[in-house]
Amino acid sequence: MMKRLRVKDFSLVDTLECGQTFCWVKEGGGYINADIGQVVYVEQRGDNLIYDSSESNVDLASMFRLKDPLNQIHHEIVKDGIMRKSIDFAPNLRVINDPFFPCLVSFLCSVWKNVPAIRGMTNAIREKWGPTYEFRGTVYHGMPSPEMLSRVSIDDLKQLGLAWRGEFIIRSARAIVSGEVTEEMLRSMDYLEAHKLLKTLYGVGNKVADCVSLFSLGFLEAFPIDVWIERVIQEHYGVFTTAGKSYSKKSGAARRYFGRYAGYAQQYLYHYTRCVV
């Protein structure tokens, strides 16, 4: 029996198609996620989300951050013309709240890769080592746990086409299993502390740490910088480079400029520039 959730100021398509998540996959008129310990299917019809899950009920309000004060966020981050255009392009886009380890693996796969390649790598990992779920007559594969991947050899991942990213993932999984870095630790910290600890994981640099901070840990001030955002900075926010040209200097300048919702500003700019500019 499909369930229904009434929503306000939310676009499922913009939220899931803007490049911030690799846990959700398009299927039929909606999207499937098998990275949450079960399978959930969601589609949007007007102001309603129609959804079903394989086992227990799911908290879509948490997964899609439906309680974030979107109007207030817009008000706080609209400081110039390009930002206003970016919000107007997809005003109901929300920052995603993905599970920690699948988010980390996805963005470790993202280094020097485009979206189709990232999806190909993460799906290969799921199909090889992930848990399986039967849902509505189809078998789905979720992201393996850190414990499962910690037992996999680096060469096995390299054979799936991950190259040097395989070592990033295996060594990070082992560090998580050993307790060097845990989700609980990260959630107990402020943004700067969590960002610093994430970077102790092998292969995690500034951008991956910011993506995980924003799209999983809920640090809405995080401002990931990739080639698209770098282009926006060069064309519209040259002021960000006055403090210095390093990633950390530019990201820090963006956080000061946009404030506590800098991550939302980043997502609107990223989606707009990829699709329109």
Nearest-10 crossing angle of helices 247-258, 262-275: 110
The pairing of beta strand 40-45 with beta strand 30-33: antiparallel
For residue 117, the model assigns a pLDDT of: 84
pTM of the model: 0.95
Please state, for a pLDDT cut of 70, what percent of the chain lies above it. 99
Give whole-number Cα distances, 68 to 63, 96, 232, in Å: 11, 11, 25
Region 105-129: mean pLDDT is: 88
Mean pLDDT of the chain: 95
For residue 83, the model assigns a pLDDT of: 97
Q: Residue 107 above 90 pLDDT?
A: yes
* More confident call, 162 vs 25: 25
Place of tokens 């899950």: 53
Q: Which residues face 211 on adjacent strands?
A: none
Domains and CATH numbers, the chain: 3-58 (3.30.310.40), 70-88+222-275 (1.10.1670), 100-215 (1.10.340.30)
How many residues in total does the chain contain?
Answer: 277
CA nearest 227: which of 269, 187, 197?
269
Q: How confident is the model at residue 277 (pLDDT cuts 50, 70, 90)?
A: low
* pLDDT tens-digit readout, 143-200: 999 999 999 999 898 888 888 888 999 999 999 999 999 999 999 999 999 999 999 9
Show Cβ contacts of residue 136 under 8 Å, excluding neighbours closer than 6 positions.
41, 52
Task: For the beta carbon of residue 154, count every other beta carbon within 10 angstroms.
Answer: 16
Q: Residue 1 above 90 pLDDT?
A: no
Region 128-140: mean pLDDT is: 96
The least confident of 62-66, 244-248, 249-253, 261-265 is 244-248
